[in-house]
Amino acid sequence: MATFKDFRNNVKPNWCPGCGDFSVQAAMQRAAANVGLEPEQLAVVSGIGCSGRISGYINSYGFHGIHGRALPIAQGVKMANRDLTVIASGGDGDGFAIGMGHTIHAIRRNIDITYIVMDNQIYGLTKGQTSPRSAAGFKTKSTPQGSIEQAISPMEMALTAGATFVAQSFSTDLKDLTALIEAGIKHKGFSLINVFSPCVTYNKVNTYDWFKENLTKLSEVEGYDSSSRELAMQTLMKHDGLVTGLIYQNTERKSYQELISGYSETPLAHADLSLDQKFFDKLTAEFV
């Protein structure tokens, strides 16, 4: 049986020392091993950003896609080969700016993949511009007088879009984060896990200390019930979205693939797609 070490490769991450993404990578590798996967049973698809490099740092199938397009690729991989566990990942810019349309539609579609967003509330790779997760008033080189836009609340947005698994974590909480990724992988449907993953180089506001001071663990909120969408929304609003843990899970709704009528038993990736000469000649006669 594989251990987390089997999900390591020999590529050295070029993230800045102290970047939160290191822990997200470690949690992903641990979770994959803990749920009993072998490296060839996992596909990690990522977008573009510092966080997007993660697919190259894990020993599994990997696809480093284009900015904001991790989810269309990941959904295609899952549709073609449902036997693979598919994890999509990227930054808050990737998923909540350019890729927001894909995020909302993947959520409501409920395809059985896990989406891990490394939320540093800034654009890291392009050297520190405001992201849709940056708070109003946030100063960067793209908003030198402070952002005049409101930050998006991805967890509230996901609940509104009909998500069946919504969770949030902090990159230093390795144990909790690993457990949430395991739960997300096991969930039969789309799971969104937003991880506060500090950018130590460009974000001098939302630092490790800032998150420690401002985050509330749902496990410490009396009477919290992750099966109640209403309570989830109320709690998010009360804490300005700054909670960690399993926010909401609906185990009753079927996944996209379970609902496709006549969906082939054999994944497309394993199907015999060869054509015999007679059929090929018939096709070419008709179409060419």
Ligand X SMILES: Cc1ncc(C[n+]2csc(CCOP(=O)(O)OP(=O)(O)O)c2C)c(N)n1
Q: Which residues bind ligand SF4 (CB under 6 A)?
A: 15-16, 19, 21, 50, 120, 124, 199-202
Near ligand X in 207-226, by CB under 6 A: none
Picking from 202, 222, 188, 217, the residue whose alpha carbon sits closest to that of residue 49 is 202
Q: Which class for 127: exposed (0-12), middle (13-18), buried (19 or more C-beta within 10 A)?
A: exposed
- DSSP3 helix / strand / coil % (the chain, rounded to 5): 40, 15, 45
Picking from 78, 90, 91, the residue whose alpha carbon sits closest to that of residue 43 is 78
CB of 235 to ligand SF4, least distance (A): 28
Q: What are phi and psi of 34, to 5 degrees?
A: -65, -30
Q: Is residue 94 a contact point for ligand X (CB under 6 A)?
A: yes
Only one of the segments 84-92, 135-143, 237-245, 260-268 lies at the binding site for ligand X (rule: CB under 6 A); that segment is: 84-92
Q: Which residues make Cβ contacts (< 8 Å) with residue 200, sequence separation at least 6? A: 16, 17, 18, 19, 20, 207
Q: Is residue 182 a contact point for ligand X (CB under 6 A)?
A: no
52/241 with CB nearer ligand SF4: 52
Site for ligand X (CB under 6 A): which residue of 31, 45, 48, 106?
48
Alpha-carbon dihedral sign for residues 32, 38, 39, 42:
negative
15/248 with CB nearer ligand X: 15
Near ligand X in 102-121, by CB under 6 A: 118, 120
Q: Is residue 92 a contact point for ligand X (CB under 6 A)?
A: yes
- CA–chain centroid gap for 32, Å, is 14
Q: Is residue 132 a contact point for ligand X (CB under 6 A)?
A: no
Q: Is residue 82 a contact point for ligand X (CB under 6 A)?
A: no
Interface contacts to ligand X, rule CB under 6 A:
48-51, 67, 90-94, 98, 118, 120, 123-126, 131
